Amino acid sequence: MDWNEQLSNFRQRTLFDLKYGTDTATHFMKPQFKPVPNLEHGKHYMASWTKEVVHSYKFARHFLGPSFSAYQFIDLGCGKGKACLVWRLQCMKDKINQDVMGVDYYPPFIDIARENSKKIFRDAGHFLVAGAETIHYQGFDKPLIIYLYNPFDAVILAKVLDQLLQWPVLVIYNIPSHRTTLLHYGYQLLYVKQGYNQNEDTQIFVSPSIQTQHLDVVV
């Protein structure tokens, strides 16, 4: 890791924890995990870059317009809750009431995410221990914004998308390793953002059931 990358990681990961007293920045590699179902399909843990979550939030709010607050935000593979925390802070800043939820298959991460939420918001937030493929998404009875920080492989992603057929979904995919799976399910690519670091690579997709008349949105 060169000096520029170290500085970027400090600004986009460590600085958040220093500001809020949270525990999100420390990496957690796959060999450190205790056995859980579908561990072979998951990735190691790193926290999303702060600016990337903020940028995605701004794009989603602009693209969805007045309907933005009606969407349920779900971070699949939320880890220690970083994306949920940043998203919720942005909602508070803009005085928007939106349901924000994090899901992860590794119970220790959810425990940490809840503690992180308490430090910022004085509540445990909405974090659930579950595999992404086990959630009944239509039970939310809302359109969805799904955030993915490259949390799992194409096997799990396909199982999630199988449940979301005919459902209105905006997918924010940071480090989009399995983007072809979304395209296979008919999702349309709205937006591409790239940078010198893979953490700055984000693609945003919409499901076939969302009208895409504002494809020229730029934040």
> In whole angstroms, what is the distance from residue 209 CA to residue 215 CA?
15
Residue 177 CA: distances (Å) to CA of 95, 101, 151, 154, 213? 34, 23, 10, 9, 27
Looking at residue 4, its pLDDT comes to 77
> In whole angstroms, what is the distance from residue 45 CA to residue 143 CA?
27
Looking at residue 101, its pLDDT comes to 98
CB of 174 within 8 A of CB of 56?
Answer: yes
Looking at residue 9, its pLDDT comes to 85
Q: 3-206: what fold?
A: Rossmann fold (3.40.50)
pLDDT tens-place values along the chain, 219 residues long: 576 778 888 899 999 999 999 999 998 888 888 899 888 999 999 999 999 999 999 999 999 999 999 999 999 999 999 999 999 999 999 999 999 999 999 999 999 999 999 999 999 999 999 999 999 999 999 999 999 999 999 999 999 999 999 899 999 999 999 999 999 999 999 999 998 899 999 999 999 988 654 444 443
Alpha helices, DSSP H, located in 65-185: 82-93, 107-121, 154-163, 179-184
Q: How is residue 36 annotated by DSSP?
A: -
For 17, the token pair is: 């924890």
Looking at residue 99, its pLDDT comes to 97
Looking at residue 217, its pLDDT comes to 44
Looking at residue 1, its pLDDT comes to 56
3-class state of residue 99 by DSSP: coil
